[in-house]
Structure 1
Amino acid sequence: MAVAEPAIALLVPGGTGQLGGDLAALAGPGVQVHAPGSADLDITRPGAVIEAVTELRARAEAAGARPVVVNAAAYTAVDAAETDEERAFAINADGPRVLAAACSSRRVPLVHVSTDYVFAGDADRPYEPGDPLAPRTAYGRTKAAGEDAVLGSGARAWIVRTSWVYGEHGGNFVKTMARLESERDTVSVVDDQRGCPTWTGDLAAGLLELARRVTGDDPPAERVLHCAGAGDTTWFGFARAVFAGLGADPERVRPCTTGEFPRPAPRPAYSVLSDASWRAAGLTPLPPWQKALGEYFARTA
């Protein structure tokens, strides 16, 4: 007879965002979830954070559950961060520092979500967690600072880096391509930036699996892990797959170079993340990005 998993009490700052929404939706039986948006829990406010983590601990103890925090709160406007780095730093670095301190003092494990933008983007093979950080954007710098703050806090904390995230909630590349498909005859998309598209449905499931592990007796020994959709492609390849998923002609997507589509924040040319650390920790690897995109369209049709 299978032994039931212990119940967990989960706090998800950023709970109304793209990833937070799926974390709340997929929590399932045995998980008490509180997923406040930034209006209800501003992670840059120490008093509010201490109160939220204290309440989490109390709810868990009352229910005989194990408390855990999965931080999905982030400033993700990559281009806007170039001229608003102070605000981005407050949310992406100061906020996680405050959250980690509260988790440390109340003995609550923390899973903090980070990004491929902490790397330079000039590698010639998939990035491993231990590779040197060399962010080239304000967004990347603030996320790297957040990682340092969490890992140096003394909390039982794990960093999970991911990339090219899309989902049902909020704005993202897939939604942008769907809109452009209905508005334009052709769409030009860069074909010289490569990464791993990651559906929030799969990512949320992986983070929930990790959340259970870190509350138990066999947490991953490595404190930094990579979790992204399996395989890689360019934005051009991704866009063509989106058009195909919409039932549109992929030939309407035309390739272009990064130089033809300048942005305020430079995009990494190569940000493929290796999932070897995730697999080595005994966690379920995410499926191929093509399969995940098909599942996304099936769920949102």
Structure 2
Amino acid sequence: MTGGGLLVFGRSGQVARELARLAPGAVFLGRADADLSDPPACAAAIAAHAPRAVINAAAWTAVDAAETEEAAATVINADAPGAMARACAARGIPFVHISTDYVFDGAGDAPFAPDAPTAPLGAYGRSKLAGERAVRAAGGVHVILRTSWVFSAHGANFVKTMLRLGATRESLTVVADQIGGPTPARAIAAACLTISDHLIGNPQDSGTHHVAGTPDVSWAGFAREIMAQAHLACTITDIPSRDYPTPARRPANSRLDCSSLARFGLHRPDWRAGLHDALQELGAIP
């Protein structure tokens, strides 16, 4: 699907911006067009546009802020997607919704399968899990696509933070006991497009799937690769999570089993190649 008949919630976020590149013919709804804090407005937008497929690339992503603003986060991450899903189900429109590794507790070291038990550690994860349940409960054609550690040349993300700090510091301490798959926003956008197109002709393939970059790595290892590719001399020193406390607990294990992507002809993207592309776009490398 190149965008014709596609409706996307989100305009300025990392995945939404990549969707705009890959599907320029799609209709993108920013906050001024459909505010996710007003779920009925989201449903009304679907009714007004009558698209062939809908992708929700908008969310409350301020993980720490959600700890003190859980009600607001839940409206955006659960009530709004539920309203979208019900509007799509009523019209037979496929709906693709992006979720997160934060629905898991991060225990163990095995990759979490899509049907693994969920047990979020904090408010953000609870709000996203409530959104998943609302989408499933709508009963329509849908895919919930969980992902992790999103990065791109846009917005606020780990890559841009490391570039900024690495350019001015000789060394940095970075958490090494959280493991996951950094995921290029462009790869998530491409997966959303492939899946939404697939669902139009194959509604029986509704369900929950994972997309995350490979190979799995720690935040410290990710930081080292950023410094290496950007030719920055900044040294990365491993620290445990307890030495970098945050309001919200992060999963120690964010590994995701992405094998079911094969159903859509997709596979895990190599985040190192995606990092190279992002660094080039940022002007950090030639």
Normalised-by-shorter TM-score class: over 0.9
User: Taking structure 1 as reference, are residues 125 and 47 closer, same or farther at Cα in structure 2, changes over 3 Å only?
Assistant: closer
Equivalent AA in structure 1 for residue 110 of structure 2: R
1:98-121 C-alpha deviation (Å, 9 max, x unpaired): 111111222211000000000010
> How many residues were matched structurally?
283
1:184-213 C-alpha deviation (Å, 9 max, x unpaired): 221110010000000101111111111111
Which of 56, 73, 79 pairs up with 2:49? 56
> Quick check: 1:128–1:277 contact (8 Å CA) kept in 2?
no
1:37-79 C-alpha deviation (Å, 9 max, x unpaired): 223211342442233112321xx5xxxxxx1111011101111
Of all paired residues, the percent bearing the same amino acid is 42
TM-score by structure 1 length? 0.89
1:195-234 aligned at under 5 Å gives the runs 195-215=180-200, 217-219=201-203, 221-234=205-218
Equivalent AA in structure 1 for residue 243 of structure 2: E
1:1-301 aligned at under 5 Å gives the runs 8-27=4-23, 32-57=25-50, 60=51, 67-215=52-200, 217-219=201-203, 221-249=205-233, 252-279=235-262, 281-301=263-283
Equivalent AA in structure 2 for residue 18 of structure 1: Q
**How much does 1:6 deviate?**
9.0
> Quick check: 1:164–1:198 contact (8 Å CA) kept in 2?
yes
> Quick check: 2:175–2:219 contact (8 Å CA) kept in 1?
yes
- Counterpart position of 1:64: none
Partners in 2 of 1:108 and 1:102 — Cα distance? 8
Equivalent AA in structure 2 for residue 209 of structure 1: T
TM-score by structure 2 length? 0.94
**How much does 1:33 deviate?**
0.6
> Quick check: 1:93–1:145 contact (8 Å CA) kept in 2?
yes
**How much does 1:219 deviate?**
4.4
Partners in 2 of 1:293 and 1:107 — Cα distance? 37
Equivalent AA in structure 2 for residue 149 of structure 1: A
The alignment yields a C-alpha RMSD, in angstroms, of: 1.7
Partners in 2 of 1:224 and 1:50 — Cα distance? 22
SS of equivalent residue, structure 1 residue 183? coil
